Amino acid sequence: QQSVARHGGGRGWRWRLGRAGGKPGGRGGEAAALPGAPLHYLAPLLSNLSQRPAARAFLLDPDRCVVQRLLPLTQYPDSSVRRGGVVGTLRNCCFEHRHHEWLLGPEVDILPFLLLPLAGPEDFSEEEMQRLPVDLQYLPPDKQREPDADIRKMLVEAIMLLTATAPGRQQVRDQGAYLILRELHSWEPEPDVRTACEKLIQVLIGDEPERGMENLLEVQVPEDVEQQLQQLDCREQEQLERELAPEPWVERATPT
């Protein structure tokens, strides 16, 4: 459960994360110290704090088990604010590539918690089903994807960060992430989320980077190439804005 405890000495409030279950479908508890206060907005606060290296170091400390307690909240049904804050926190933690092996390993097993909100009720073949983590196999026909497009995009971005290193890319491939992303891309109505999904799929199905460039977060991009990439991003954004813009209203002549 979650609770808020007041410390003496003027040190303010501390958010204590309690155990919230260990499966992707689990739910986090409410505040024991403040009955009736759901504290949903502590999740966006935590997301903001996790932009700082010191906060990420705290969250990623294996002895504290903080990340494991956040994972079930990616599916918290009662608040998109809480889900979004938790997913934002997890995405920020994924910038720390030195922790990827731990995050993807059995001690945390973060990937199913990131993929499950992106999964729908698809009926995979038996061969494909066996490639998926157990928690993503044989989902019910009424399974719904995460309804918030911003959260879906953050989930895709978190998985993209986990593919920054060669071992991370292999682990994400081995857990059948491509199958979930393939179906998400076919279903996704939002162009910016679909674009993020396409980029991740390209990383998973593309050739491995040449030797010395395996860690995508540490690759030094030449200035001229960076400018070209920025220009491409600007063109993509303009294209998205054109696709999302409403049709212009045209005054029609009235027959006389």
**Residue 50 near residue 44, CB atoms below 8 Å:** no
The answer to whether position 251 is within a domain reads no
Tell me how many domains the chain contains.
Answer: 1
Q: Which residues contact 41 (CB under 8 A, 6 or more apart)?
A: 81, 85
Rounded to 5 degrees, φ, ψ at 166 are: -60, -45
Contacts 24+ apart (CB under 8 A), 195-200: 195/236, 195/240, 196/153, 196/156, 196/157, 196/160, 197/156, 199/160, 200/156, 200/159, 200/160, 200/163
The answer to whether position 29 is within a domain reads no
For the chain, how many residues are written? 256
Distance CA(117)–CA(140), nearest Å, equals 13
The answer to whether position 24 is within a domain reads no
The answer to whether position 248 is within a domain reads no
Q: What is the CATH number of the domain that holds 180?
A: 1.25.10.10
Distance CA(163)–CA(166), nearest Å, equals 7
pTM, rounded to two decimals: 0.74
What range does the domain containing 190 cover? 41-219
Tens of pLDDT, residue by residue over 159-168, are: 999 999 999 9
Q: What pLDDT band is residue 38 in, cutting at 50, 70 and 90?
A: confident
According to DSSP, residue 154 is labeled: H
Residues in a beta bridge with 5: 14
CA distances to 80, 102, 169, 189 from 106, rounded to whole Å, are: 27, 8, 16, 33
Tens of pLDDT, residue by residue over 138-175, are: 999 999 999 999 999 999 999 999 999 999 999 999 99
pLDDT, mean of residues 187-201: 95
Q: Is 210 helix (H, G, I), strand (E, B) or coil?
A: coil
**For the chain, what is the mean pLDDT?**
80
